[in-house]
Amino acid sequence: MNAHLQPTGSAYFIAKETELAETHTLSVLVDNEPGVLARVIGLFSGRGYNIESLTVSETEHEAHLSRITIVTRGTPHVLEQIKNQLERLVPVHRVVDLTVRAAGLGHERPIERELALVKVHGSGEHRVEALRLADAFRASVIDANIDHFVFEITGKPSKIEQFIAIMKPLGLIEVCRTGIAAMNRGPQGM
């Protein structure tokens, strides 16, 4: 009846995204059973969600519970879907959007910390400079000989990025980062 109207169609309707993407940190409490991490990762890749950081480890050995911390980016609508889809997985106990909860508690963001091992070539003047800066960043030396250091540094991701950037001109060899561990401030648990 409206064939005269200007058509806009396709086999599927592809909408233009108008909402802005936000970065959120999610905590996911899961049964520590085989394949649980694959389920979580498969859900993200299968439904086209982003993962910026992911850490997982058993946190309650007796109860066989693991805690997964995921930093993801998406529009508020997508973030709500991610939470709902994660909660649908059988071994998932609980999903908390730490960023949303932090805002509810009046904080800018949840506590987020990361550990990095940073190996730096160090001899001559650079060696002294690297040590001095490590001290300023409260990084500790955990291995060294006459021409290298391995620093251990913990802190906010931004602090670690800054440390790595500074080490680059001083002879950065390699970096290993754990990804983010996070929880909210205050007395309540997730």
Partner 1 sequence: MSGTENQMTGAEIVLQALKDNGVEHIFGYPGGAVLPIYDEIFQQEDIQHILVRHEQGAGHMAEGYARSTGKVGVMLVTSGPGATNAVTPLQDALMDSIPLVCISGQVPTSLIGSDAFQECDTVGITRPCTKHNWLVRDVNELARVIHEAFRVAQSGRPGPVVVDIPKDIQFATGAYTPPSAVPTQKSYQPKTQGDLKKIEEAVALMKSARQPVIYSGGGVINSGPQAAHFLRELVELTDFPITSTLMGLGAYPASGKNWLGMLGMHGTYEANLAMHDCDVMICIGARFDDRITGRLNAFSPNSKKIHIDIDPSSINKNVRVDVPIIGDVAAVLEDMVRLWRAAAKTVDRTRLEDWWKSITKWRARNSLAYTPSADVIMPQYAIQRLYELTKDRDTYITTEVGQHQMWAAQFFGFEEPNRWMTSGGLGTMGYGFPAAVGVQVAHPDSLVIDIAGDASIQMCIQEMSCAVQYGLPVKIFILNNQYMGMVRQWQQLLHGNRLSHSYTEAMPDFVKLAEAYGGVGIRCEKPGELDEAIKQMIDTPAPVIFDCRVANLANCFPMIPSGKAHNEMLLPDEATDEAVANAIDAKGRQLV
CB of 34 to partner 1, least distance (A): 7
When binding is defined by CB under 8 A, the residue of 6, 61, 62, 174 that contacts partner 1 is 6
Please choose, out of 27-35, 66-74, 119-127, 128-136, the segment that lies near partner 1 by the rule CB under 8 A.
Answer: 27-35
8-40 burial, b at 16+ Cβ within 10 Å, e below that, comes to: eeeeeeeeeeeeeeeebbbbbbbebeeebeeeb
Cβ distance to partner 1 smaller for residue 39 or 119 = 39
CB of 91 to partner 1, least distance (A): 5
15 binds partner 1 (CB under 8 A): yes
CB of 179 to partner 1, least distance (A): 23
38 binds partner 1 (CB under 8 A): yes
177's CB contacts (< 8 A; 6+ apart) are 114, 115, 116, 160
Cβ distance to partner 1 smaller for residue 10 or 188 = 10
CB of 30 to partner 1, least distance (A): 7
CB of 185 to partner 1, least distance (A): 27
CB of 118 to partner 1, least distance (A): 35
Cβ distance to partner 1 smaller for residue 9 or 106 = 9
Specify the amino acid at residue 52.
E
Binding mask 67-106 for partner 1 (x = CB under 8 A): ----------x--xx--xx-xxxxxxx-------------
Please provide residue 156's backbone torsions phi and psi, each rounded to the nearest 5 degrees: -65, 150
Binding residues for partner 1 (CB under 8 A): 1-3, 5-15, 30-31, 34-35, 38-39, 42, 46, 77, 80-81, 84-85, 87-93
